[in-house]
Structure 1
Amino acid sequence: MKLFSKRNLLLLSALSVGWTVAQTSLPATPPQVAAPAETLNDPIFPGLGQAGLDVRHYDLSLTVERPGTPEFYGSVTLTLASTRPLGEIRLDFLGPTVNAVRWNGMGVPFRTDAALQKLIATLPAPLVPGQEARLTVVYGGRPGVVLDPGFSTPLQLGWQSVPAADGRAGANFTLSEPNGTHTFLPSNDHPSDKASFTTRVTVPEGFTAAASGVEGPVTTGSGTRTFTFTQTRPIPTYALGIHVNRFDRVTAPAVPVGVNGSPVARRDYFPVGTPGNVRAVYDRTERALRVLSEWFGPYPFAAYGVALVTPRLPALETATLSTIPPNLATERTAVHELAHQWFGNDLSPATWADVWLSEGFATYAELLWAEALGENGQAVAARWYDGQVRGGTRPLVATREAQLFDRSAYQRGALALHALRAAVGDDAFRAFLRAHVARFSGGTLGTADFLAFSRTQTGERGEAALRMWVESPTLPALPVMAGR
């Protein structure tokens, strides 16, 4: 996900840079009231989602007439199912004006509730288990405002606008984790309800659009181009990446590290004028894909690359196309976001309280990469440990928003995996990682299930090593691998 703390992980990687966030006047995020029974009752964001709703696919069409400005318009058709009868569809939404809502092609009554951050459509008959239906929302205007829960300077989540300046073209992109997707997309905006996506973005001629998934044909109109991307493997809503800019699209040979040795298409998007030394950071993506696949198993998607953005913001593991700003253009950042394609995008946290399962694994991938380059992995772990000593620590399951992307989620989460590796050895640890991915790929996982699975794979010794790091209110001793 975001790189430290999407935020503070910068410190972990010893990057002495600072973000500058535009000091714009942002309205306060409308409060989410206590979760009614029909939400998913997430322990961190209790108002998100609708219980019983299963969004299987989003077919999204957006038109951006003036890149760099916040306005856009379009429509989305959601393919829906349910696990219980639903008389209303209650989508998370705090976005542009809704002009129409259709249920299987027929207009239906709807209302928006800014306090609940919901778009509520009343159905002509309940959606019941075993049925599949389509809900279309036509909307347009300016996105809503949700602020990042852990960023000290106001940082708006969701749809981003970068005005043209200093010879640069205006640009737009998404930066949504954890709960910003519903500022621009009516959605069941929770990682437990993953879905596939078709994304079409229409932009003025001369601009390029990119999105999560595999690119299809580009169609031209009167002074416009429409780009289509298909993400067939389900992902959480926060991982949907969309970019509009004047890009250089750079392709590289496919890498045969996908499922059953399938090729992984390689493409990167660099804003026109990106310096060569910044582009060169991604020259070893093929090697990183091979190294991480050896530890985690096949890469889960059909494509991978990065899209660089110009603001100095957090990095984010948008699916198949990581979003990275220039101040974080380092190999360690690149590897962290690549690892999130396995941990976060394909294997997702069951609730936001379990986000350490994404961040800890992605951080540990940095150590595995360092070892592949001949560095001392134990020294990397020792630096993380020192960070925990200096900055404080906590049990790994988050209990409030401020803990989602703090040092413990990253450093202590990674050290928990290092403790397991030290307890069982490299061969058993590699087997555990691959079995873990194979068992839960495409799904979601909570901390309790993760610990239970570790017991079946590594025995009491492995589970005990993990559990101490997950649950202890104090910092356990630094785990040391034999012979290191």
Structure 2
Amino acid sequence: ISSKKNYQLDEIKWKSLNGRVIPVRFYWNEGENQSGLNHVKNITPEMMRFFSELFCDYPFEKNGYATLNELFIFGGMENQTLISLCSNCWDEELIAHEFSHQWFGNMITLKTWADVWLNEGFATFAEGLWIEHRFGEEAYKEYMRIQAERFFQSENKFPIFNREWRNKIPDIGTLYNGEIIYAKSSVVLNMLRNVLGDSVFFGALKSYTNDKSLQYRNISTEEFISRIISYTGRDIGWFFNQWLAGTHFPVYKNYYSITQRDSLYIIDLIFSQENDENIYYKMPFEIQILFEDGSSANETIFNDRDNQNFRLVYSKKPIKIYFDPHDKILLKKMYVKEL
């Protein structure tokens, strides 16, 4: 930290959901951008309330941020109750990322380095949730698209969850790989949200963070999956197995045809998938149908095998078919052709 004589301090107080008064301290160096600092101080109460309501009540007795000097080479470090930031780094999204670690990483922390995605994937995802809260759904979707693109552009792809890291820790560039451990993991959580729906998904996160048997303890990836299955009542082990263990992503080559039989219109769909690994990525797949009269319909199909056929029948004429129109499966490439 910079020398004491150049160090500044300010403090605000925030009342937690259960009525505790939480001091929040801000330490900074002389000469830093005061507008950025003041902005963070202004939004801090809202951010603390947002994450406390979304997860569980803020889990520590105080909170704080301190900018360091040029020897600190990272953007931020999620120390319990006093988060480190790079010099002059009063950035709202960075603050949201590091602050969410108080739940994901500090209150419930990884059991081994193989489980590091539970820290960084959740913090990157929570950064997106804050963006959604502040700027709306489209801003959130754009943020998640950027994370997916970060993964697509990565040259060295490997699974999110690597059991061998429990016995042999990789180099820091691999362990904290931004494209895989941060970006891809956050997109996987976004896709889990889409698969489960908001009510079930956020209910599971609230159960997870409020679970007294987990708070201030360690958890493994396998234990996390088991807990999510228990909280949701959904057998979704298949989702984690493919997205955590898979190295790449599915490449869909889908086909459709529209035929008329008497007064009915028949849509035949064929799902085909290619990838560079021995995995077939099972996913619920949204189909949007536009009709000649200007109306539309949305259907969700669970695609779980290659060359799978589905048939939809309507009494009015379809004119256009869209596969995954809302990009609920962000980690994919897709080609669609009419037969």
Please classify the TM superposition score into its range, dividing by the shorter chain length: 0.5 to 0.7
Is 1:271 paired with 2:29?
yes
**In structure 1, what is the Cα distance between the partners aligned to 2:6 and 2:186?**
37
5+ long unaligned stretches in structure 2: 252-323, 330-339
Over residues 392-450 of structure 1, what are the superposed CA-to-partner deviations in whole Å (9 max), with x where a residue is unaligned? 43211243233211021101111121121001111111111111112221110111111
- Per the alignment, residue 293 of structure 1 pairs with 52
Indicate the SS of the match to 1:344. Answer: coil
**In structure 2, what is the Cα distance between the partners aligned to 1:262 and 1:394?**
44
Indicate the SS of the match to 1:429. Answer: helix
Over residues 348-383 of structure 1, what are the superposed CA-to-partner deviations in whole Å (9 max), with x where a residue is unaligned? 100112111000010001110111112322221111
Is 1:395 paired with 2:159?
yes
8 Å contact 1:425–1:481 — kept in the other structure?
A: no
Give the 5 Å matches for 1:438-449. 438-439=210-211, 440-449=214-223
Match for 1:365 among 126, 130, 133?
126
Give the 5 Å matches for 1:179-218. 207=4
Is 1:415 paired with 2:174?
no
Larger Rg: 2
- Per the alignment, residue 475 of structure 1 pairs with 249
Indicate the SS of the match to 2:12. Answer: strand
- Per the alignment, residue 269 of structure 2 pairs with none
Counterparts in 2 of 1:274 and 1:255: CA distance versus 1, 3 Å: farther
**In structure 2, what is the Cα distance between the partners aligned to 1:476 and 1:447?**
23
8 Å contact 1:419–1:465 — kept in the other structure?
A: no
Match for 2:175 among 398, 401, 404?
404
Indicate the SS of the match to 1:323. Answer: strand
Indicate the SS of the match to 1:391. Answer: coil
**In structure 2, what is the Cα distance between the partners aligned to 1:343 and 1:476?**
29
**In structure 1, what is the Cα distance between the partners aligned to 2:9 and 2:199?**
39
**Comparing both chains, which one has the higher relative contact order based on Cα–Cα distances under 8 Å and sequence gaps of 6 or more?**
1
The offset of 1:305, in angstroms, is 1.6
- Per the alignment, residue 209 of structure 2 pairs with 437
8 Å contact 2:54–2:202 — kept in the other structure?
A: yes
8 Å contact 2:115–2:221 — kept in the other structure?
A: yes
5+ long unaligned stretches in structure 1: 1-161, 163-169, 172-206, 208-244
Give the 5 Å matches for 1:190-269. 207=4, 246-257=6-17, 260-269=18-27
**In structure 2, what is the Cα distance between the partners aligned to 1:404 and 1:328?**
24
Match for 1:464 among 214, 238, 248?
238
**In structure 1, what is the Cα distance between the partners aligned to 2:95 and 2:15?**
17
Instruction: Give the length in aligned residue pairs.
Output: 240
Give the 5 Å matches for 1:85-234. 170-171=2-3, 207=4
- Per the alignment, residue 383 of structure 1 pairs with 146
**In structure 1, what is the Cα distance between the partners aligned to 2:79 and 2:62?**
12
Over residues 167-224 of structure 1, what are the superposed CA-to-partner deviations in whole Å (9 max), with x where a residue is unaligned? xxx53xxxxxxxxxxxxxxxxxxxxxxxxxxxxxxxxxxx3xxxxxxxxxxxxxxxxx
**In structure 1, what is the Cα distance between the partners aligned to 2:201 and 2:241?**
16
Is 1:330 paired with 2:101?
no
Indicate the SS of the match to 2:135. Answer: coil
Q: Which amino acid aligns with 2:204?
A: F
Q: Which amino acid aligns with 1:427?
A: S
Q: Which amino acid aligns with 2:45?
A: E
Indicate the SS of the match to 2:77. Answer: coil
**In structure 2, what is the Cα distance between the partners aligned to 1:275 and 1:330?**
11
Q: Which amino acid aligns with 2:113?
A: W
- Per the alignment, residue 355 of structure 1 pairs with 116
**In structure 2, what is the Cα distance between the partners aligned to 1:476 and 1:269?**
46
The answer to which structure has the higher helix fraction is 2
Counterparts in 2 of 1:299 and 1:256: CA distance versus 1, 3 Å: same
CA RMSD of aligned residues (A): 2.2
The offset of 1:247, in angstroms, is 2.2
**In structure 1, what is the Cα distance between the partners aligned to 2:145 and 2:196?**
19
The offset of 1:476, in angstroms, is 4.9
- Per the alignment, residue 427 of structure 1 pairs with 199
Counterparts in 2 of 1:326 and 1:281: CA distance versus 1, 3 Å: farther
TM-score computed with the length of structure 2 as normaliser? 0.66
Q: Which amino acid aligns with 1:456?
A: S
Counterparts in 2 of 1:476 and 1:413: CA distance versus 1, 3 Å: farther
**In structure 2, what is the Cα distance between the partners aligned to 1:442 and 1:474?**
34
